[in-house]
Structure 1
Amino acid sequence: MLKWFIPLSVVLFIVSFVGEAIHLPPVVFFFLTGAAIIPVAGWMGQATESLAIYAGPRIGGLLSATFGNAVELIIGIIALREGLQTLVKASITGSIIGNLLFVLGISFLIGGIRHPIQHFNVKAARSQSAMLWLSIGITFILPAAFSATDAAVAGVLSTVAAVVALVLYLLGLFFSLYTHRYLFESVHDPKDGDETAPLQLWVAIVSLVITTVFVALESEWLVGAVKVVGARLGWSEVFMGVIVVAIVGNAAEHASAVWMAWKNKMELSTEIAVGSTLQVAMFVAPVLLLVSYAIGQPMFLVFSWTELVSMGAAVLLVVVLMLDGESNWLEGALALGAYLVMAVGFFMLKGLS
């Protein structure tokens, strides 16, 4: 299928570039750029699958999440330069609940329809669950709790929380990739050892770099179109950040996770979804805070209680679903149902800052 993904990606990218240059109507341009991300997602999925075969699902998923979140980091910095701190924090919230409930939910659902019970490393799932709780607690809940009693501590505590989260994230990578790597070994199917990678290693790496550039540009155009379309439809800035921007900005990465679940590679699928969540909470958000100071647009890690409750509920549900190391379509439906309720709630909520 790669022979179709690459030419379609290039052609639709060129068409999107021309559409941006000639200023197509926002609604038309929105659907055009959205369609352009689809073949790029397939291309990125093939590259991710190949890397996972060469280096294992842990590293493959980490690389996929890193390249995907690089796009979000770039978009966040651009938004910060324009003084859109509310939108940036909303997109962080959206990435977390979107990855955990929307992406993992669809992955469990689609994978479960084809494979009644899917398995993944339960020890890895427990380690990820602990990191999820820690990431939400340290990075987001503590700054909000202390700032509620004394607003003057918001900046200092946000900075301390960001630095601590960054250090713990790096320690977590060192733990899972080096000192305790044996705990994260894959749950193999006997026939998996003979699997051939769709792409050579160097081709997979180059493909990830190219698709990241494509997705970065397409996402920036798409988000720009979303703002105009959202304004015309009366969508709030927070709803666009939490739901719309978070979905379209990570579309390619989301598609990769679902595709891996369909192929019964749940360890890679969960690594993309959960690993991306951890990276957003413990790396992207802290880096954005530090960058906001550097460019003179300070953004404290103080989120609204609505956002905090939504993130906490998403983490709680996913932790419960993952602890047994198994998934099925009903668990996917549960996660998607929770996401739908949150999406409607953010749509109805106006004036959140």
Structure 2
Amino acid sequence: MINKVFLIITIIGVPLSVIGHLLHFSPLVMFGVYCLTIIALASYMGRATESLAIVTGPRIGGLLNATFGNAVELIISIFSLKAGLVTIVLASLTGSVLGNLLLVGGLSFFVGGLKFKRQTFNVYDARHNSGLLVFSVMVAFVIPEVFSKGMSEQNAISLSIGTSIILIFLYLAALLFRLVTHRGVYTQEGQNVAHEEETAEWTTKRAFVILALATIAVAYISESLVETFKIVGESFGWSELFIGVIIVAIVGNAAEHISAVIMAYKNRMDVAVEIAIGSTLQVAMFVAPVLVLLSLLFQESMPLVFSYPELIAMFSAVFLTVIVSNDGDTNWFEGAMLLGAYVIIGIGFYLF
């Protein structure tokens, strides 16, 4: 049923987005159209990567899902940087960390826990991810903020560039570690038995074609979406911080939200956790650094410097996620705690 709804939204939304942009329809109306259309397109990206996950396995499948899910946000962020909306870009990165860990992770644990009293996933992967989360968010994001207070703007940019290069290098090294040099070394006994007979919805070729077409459509609509931010913010009284942390993050990560919850409902928790936490790591260690480096091409460079509310919110999300997931075991109540934390933080950013 939900797939038919997304199909209808896509069929109507894509041409309407093109026509509305060309004929300059009301920005408030088009903001809603753009958001719904991107979410519908993201559902196709999610279904395509779900098919690929069945063929490639949970680790690579989760990585593909996180990558194409983050591609939406990366595209929106590039157009935002081009428009000089640095605050929104930084806020959307914060929103991605919070959304992936608390909203996506929380919904996955909660929905999966309603069907299964106890769900398990690879505890070795959970501990590996915990270390990377602490490093990328609690170390690499905090240091530029603390040291930038006593620096010139140029030195703050230089520190951000150096930090970004190290983050990208370590992210690639982490992929090498998990997918090549230590692939299968930390496999949990019996973890893949339950899913051997599952068949993919689409063939590999069809899945890649749908991914490519959806990504192109999202790229076009994202540029139009960015142009509506200022007017929408002024009309509803939303700050750039709230737009970035909540609105852009939810729209940009819709594919991951949908896919992770579906995987959890099917008790494929290794994939669900890989999407939620793996996507966070990709945002913190790859997407954010890439945006810092790309911003050098635009009129206004973006330092890797977050506000204290953003840092404290991300720090809290990482700490809670590490505590909940480090044992490789979860249930609906732990999901409810993550969701509760997301709502509290969301209210704070709305009123800030």
- Tell me the TM-score normalized by structure 1: 0.91
Report the equivalent of 1:114: 115
CA pair 301-8 structure 1, distance change in 2 beyond 3 A: closer
CA pair 343-179 structure 1, distance change in 2 beyond 3 A: same
Identity %: 49
Deviation at 1:207, TM superposition (A): 1.8
Contact 2:70–2:252 under 8 Å retained in 1 = no
Alignment RMSD (CA, Å): 2.2
Amino acid corresponding to residue 92 of structure 2 in structure 1: S
Report the equivalent of 1:158: 160
Report the equivalent of 1:240: 243
Report the equivalent of 1:98: 99
Deviation at 1:329, TM superposition (A): 1.2
Deviation at 1:226, TM superposition (A): 4.6
1:91-127 CA-partner distances (Å, limit 9, x unpaired): 1111111111111111111121122211111111111
1:176-205 CA-partner distances (Å, limit 9, x unpaired): 100111145476363411111111111122
Deviation at 1:300, TM superposition (A): 0.9
Report the equivalent of 1:17: 18
Report the equivalent of 1:61: 62
1:5-56 CA-partner distances (Å, limit 9, x unpaired): 5575344322332233333333433333333344434322221121111111
CA pair 113-228 structure 1, distance change in 2 beyond 3 A: farther
Deviation at 1:280, TM superposition (A): 0.9
Report the equivalent of 2:265: 262
| Residue correspondence of structure 1 range 132-171 to structure 2 within 5 A | 132-151=133-152, 153-171=155-173
Q: Which secondary structure does the structure 1 equivalent of 2:141 belong to? A: helix
Contact 2:95–2:245 under 8 Å retained in 1 = yes
Partners of 2:166 and 2:122 in 1: how far apart? 27
2:310 corresponds to 1:307: yes
Partners of 1:184 and 1:73 in 2: how far apart? 31
* Residue ranges of structure 1 left out of the alignment (5+ in a row): none
Q: Which secondary structure does the structure 1 equivalent of 2:261 belong to? A: helix
Q: Which secondary structure does the structure 2 equivalent of 1:29 belong to? A: helix
CA pair 133-334 structure 1, distance change in 2 beyond 3 A: same
Report the equivalent of 1:324: 327
1:263-290 CA-partner distances (Å, limit 9, x unpaired): 2211111111111111111111111111
Contact 1:58–1:184 under 8 Å retained in 2 = no
Partners of 1:265 and 1:231 in 2: how far apart? 43
Amino acid corresponding to residue 22 of structure 1 in structure 2: L
1:271-327 CA-partner distances (Å, limit 9, x unpaired): 111111111111111111111113242111111111111111110001111111112
Contact 2:73–2:248 under 8 Å retained in 1 = no
Contact 1:176–1:184 under 8 Å retained in 2 = no
Partners of 1:57 and 1:184 in 2: how far apart? 14
Partners of 1:113 and 1:215 in 2: how far apart? 33
Contact 1:124–1:183 under 8 Å retained in 2 = no
2:327 corresponds to 1:338: no
| Residue correspondence of structure 1 range 175-194 to structure 2 within 5 A | 175-183=177-185, 185=187, 188=191, 190-194=193-197
2:208 corresponds to 1:211: no
2:351 corresponds to 1:348: yes
Partners of 1:59 and 1:344 in 2: how far apart? 35
Residues paired across the two proteins, number: 349
1:185-233 CA-partner distances (Å, limit 9, x unpaired): 4763634111111111111222222222233334444444454222101
Partners of 1:162 and 1:223 in 2: how far apart? 25
